[in-house]
Amino acid sequence: MKTLLALVRREVWEHTAIWLVPAVLSVLLVTVAAIASVKVLGGGVNIMVDGHGVETDQIFHGLSNLNLAMVVVFGLVMGVVATFYLLDCLLADRKDRSILFWKSLPISDLTTVLSKLATAAVLIPLVTVCAAFVTAFMLMVVISVDLLVLGGSPWDMLWSQVPYFSNLVLVLYAMVVGVLWYLPLMGYLMLVSAFAKRAVMVWAVLPPLVISLVEKQFMGSNNFALMLSERMNGFAPLAFRTDSLESMADAIDRGHAGPGLEVINVAPLLQGSGLWLGLVAAGVFIAGAVYLRRYRDESI
């Protein structure tokens, strides 16, 4: 375990985008909010809190869901970061020949591959959630200052409206389910990273594209493309109640309180074959990445 944690720390040192991208995004969002706040308080925007009580209440009820919105924003950005990390993680040390040094150490290829998988499947999601919640907190502080100056009550209109516990449970639940759902894609990208010598993005896109075209041409079907589309489109319909998600979206649009724990519905996900077949495929891809790292020629 100590070796695994040390290798994960090495990944953070070598791939600064893991922490630098969310830090820059957080600073950017808070800076934009602060500039907008200055314009509001400076009279650039005319807002009368007491004069528009109902509408303003709805606005700040909607802002109580800021932490969930930030998770979505950071999740999309960090998804891109994780994709490029996975494509590079097993290729980079072959390009700079550092693989020769790491293979000289008493560290197995399995441990090395698992450390990179843990970075993508555990560390990056945790960084995403933490950055999103910290950014949402700072944005709410900026909004609270505006409310105080404009004569409103930050506690009544904003902080007391936030469902802290349910939001945290929902985010952690979505994070765990999301990692399990996208694990075969992570394993596939690691396999490509272990196999490719150059043009890693082409190698990642070309096999699924060729399989889809061959199936369409010779079998007249598109089952593989549909399966890949369902995997990439996400897990929300299987892990959450669809009717509750629609009600939640309508409530947020109207400025009402956000979702509760009633939207969680893990039964379809566990009862379906998609999750379990995906985990089997992920195991095959990861085993292939370990094999290639162990026996493939290190030259590029």
Distance of CA 262 to the CA centre of its chain: 22
Closest CA to 70 of 123, 13, 30, 122: 30
Is the whole model's pTM more than 0.75, yes or no? Answer: yes
No. of H helices and E strands in the chain? 16, 0
Beta carbons of 56 and 154 less than 8 angstroms apart: no
In terms of pLDDT, which residue wins out, 199 or 104?
A: 199
Percentages (nearest 5) of helix, strand, coil residues in the chain = 80, 0, 20
Beta carbons of 205 and 185 less than 8 angstroms apart: no
pLDDT digits (tens, 9 = 90+) for 121-155: 999 999 999 999 999 999 999 888 888 887 777 88
- Degrees, nearest 5: CA angle 271-72-190: 65
The residue whose two tokens read 């195991």 is 283
- What does pLDDT average to over the chain? 84
Percent of the chain with pLDDT over 70: 84
Beta carbons of 181 and 234 less than 8 angstroms apart: yes
Q: What is the mean pLDDT of residues 185-192?
A: 96
Compute and round to an integer the Cα radius of gyration of the chain.
Answer: 23
Q: What is the pLDDT of residue 147?
A: 80
